[in-house]
Amino acid sequence: MTKIISLTASLLLLAFFSAISSAEQAKAPDFVELQSFARLANASYANEAAIKKELANQHYELEKLIAVPGYLVAGFVASSEATKTQVIVVRGTANEENAFVDIALQLLPDKKTGLKLHQGFSQSASNFYQQVLPLLRRDYRIITVGHSLGGAVANILAMYLDEDKYQIEKVITFGQPKVTNVSGARKYAHLAVTRVVTPKDVVPLVPPLDPMDLMKLDIYWHMGKEIVLLDNHEYAVLEGVKSMLRISRFTDVVPDESNLQHHMMAEYLRRIADNIPDAKQVPYDTGFNLFGAP
């Protein structure tokens, strides 16, 4: 009986979080735009001269370089007077080999949002936020961008900005781990969050989820829609439970060099470029059967 109740609860949660508007499904991603944001995320790992060069190519002006201790998070703020836009770009850990071990499991209360957030990411985001606040303009639209742990910080920054009533245009992240729980994902469902992932990048799947924990509300949960950059100019768009259940394909797999390669910005840039001339949306099979049928 307990198992039946658990499965029923899982089905109800699956139905709730898998509800995606047909309009959103029909709208294809703008891969040219995603490429621009990916180049900004990639530039965040470079020196100041390279950052300024990429920003100039995209008609932005550098306002400030940001450095945050702890998780080795850094980044920059840039603006475009022509479009009245500010972009906040956050770099992940400088040592990508540590990306698999820098993920703590604890969700702790966050005073600003009133929700539970990943402790390390929220601390880095709070530090980052205090540094960018003097630069923010109420009459500008704000975009947050980030890769890896920087993507997690970029996501939380958008939550903080939303709390302070700034105009959040969108959030674009690459290889971003989870930052909050089901309640957090629901509260900020109005934010335009796009998470770009590659098939073998395991960082977006951590902290890991046991599919049978779906009935629990206090588990890590992703926000927004997920674009999976597949092979052969194909991609899939996932949200909610289906996005979370991608972990099923990695249950019995030990991460190796290929997973690390799939987490690098170079791989994201390559796959996005492949999708610009001819991209085709396809269904994504998580490989998980709720009832365990063959």
Q: What is the DSSP string of 185-207?
A: HHHTTTS-EEEEE-TT--GGG-S
Strands 225-229 and 193-197: parallel
- Stretch (H or E) spanning 158: helix 149-163
Is it the case that residue 50 has pLDDT exceeding 90?
yes
CB-based burial label for 281 (10 Å; 0-12, 13-18, 19+): middle
At residue 120, the pLDDT reads 79
The pLDDT mean for the chain works out to: 83
Give the closest residue to 230 by CA, choosing from 207, 249, 214.
249
Confidence of residue 125 (pLDDT cuts 50, 70, 90): very high
At residue 2, the pLDDT reads 43
Q: What end-to-end distance do the CA atoms of the chain give, in Å?
A: 22
Is it the case that residue 7 has pLDDT exceeding 80?
no
What residues form DSSP beta bridges with 221? 180
Please tell me the CATH code under which domain 30-281 is placed. Answer: 3.40.50.1820
Is it the case that residue 290 has pLDDT exceeding 80?
no
| Cβ atoms 145, 168 nearer than 8 A | no
What are the Cα distances from residue 155, in Å, to 175, 180, 248? 12, 10, 24
Is it the case that residue 16 has pLDDT exceeding 50?
no
At residue 209, the pLDDT reads 60
pLDDT tens-digit readout, 52-106: 999 999 999 999 999 977 667 899 999 999 999 999 999 987 554 444 445 556 7
Dihedrals phi, psi of 218, to nearest 5 degrees = -95, 55
pLDDT tens-digit readout, 199-236: 999 889 877 665 545 555 567 888 999 999 999 999 99
At residue 84, the pLDDT reads 98
Note the residue count of the chain. 294
85: tokens are: 């836009």
Across the range 262-291, mean pLDDT stands at 86
- Would you list the domain boundaries of the chain? 30-281
pLDDT tens-digit readout, 136-180: 999 999 999 999 999 999 999 999 999 999 999 999 999 999 998
At residue 10, the pLDDT reads 46
At residue 293, the pLDDT reads 41
Q: Which of 87-91, 255-259, 288-292 has the lowest mean pLDDT?
A: 288-292
* Cis preceding-peptide flag for 207 (omega within 30 of 0): yes
Is it the case that residue 3 has pLDDT exceeding 60?
no
CA-to-CA distance for 264 and 119, rounded, in angstroms? 24
Name 44's Cβ contacts closer than 8 Å, sequence gap at least 6.
51, 74, 75, 76, 89, 90, 91, 146, 147, 150
